[in-house]
C-alpha cells in the first residue's frame, strides 16, 4: 500500500520490502540503504536500549520519545502514527 501511494504521488520507488527482519531493515535505514519503512513505535524501546522506561506504556509519549531519539542520532523523521492499536491493549 505504501509503494502504491508513493507511486501514485509521483515518486520513483524501488521495492525493497523483502529486505528481512526488523534488525536488518533497521540497519538499512540507519545506513541510508533505504529511505523509509513502517515500524511499530514501541520498537524504539529496543532500538535505543530503553525497554525499562515507563515512556513506552503511553503511545503518545513513546512516539514522541522515539521520534526525538531517531532525529537526534540518525536524522530520521517519524511520520504521523497510523490510527491503529494493538489488540492486546
Kindly list the domain boundaries of the chain, sorted by start residue: 39-80
**pTM for the whole thing?**
0.81
- Read off the C-alpha cell for 55: 515512556
Q: Which long-range CB contacts under 8 A does 75-78 form with residues at least 24 apart?
A: 76/29, 76/30, 78/41
pLDDT at 89: 54
Taking only the tens place, the pLDDT of each residue in 29-82 is 999 999 999 998 889 999 999 999 999 999 899 999 999 999 999 999 999 988
Amino acid at each position: 500500500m505504501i509503494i502504491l501511494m508513493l507511486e501514485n504521488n509521483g515518486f520513483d520507488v524501488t521495492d525493497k520490502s523483502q529486505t528481512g527482519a526488523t534488525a536488518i531493515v533497521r540497519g538499512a535505514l540507519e545506513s541510508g540503504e533505504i529511505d523509509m519503512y513502517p515500524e511499530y513505535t514501541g520498537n524504539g524501546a529496543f532500538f535505543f536500549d530503553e525497554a525499562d522506561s515507563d515512556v513506552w506504556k503511553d503511545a503518545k509519549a513513546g512516539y514522541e520519545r522515539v521520534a526525538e531519539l531517531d532525529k537526534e542520532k540518525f536524522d530520521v523523521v517519524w511520520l504521523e502514527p497510523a490510527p491503529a492499536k494493538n489488540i492486546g491493549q
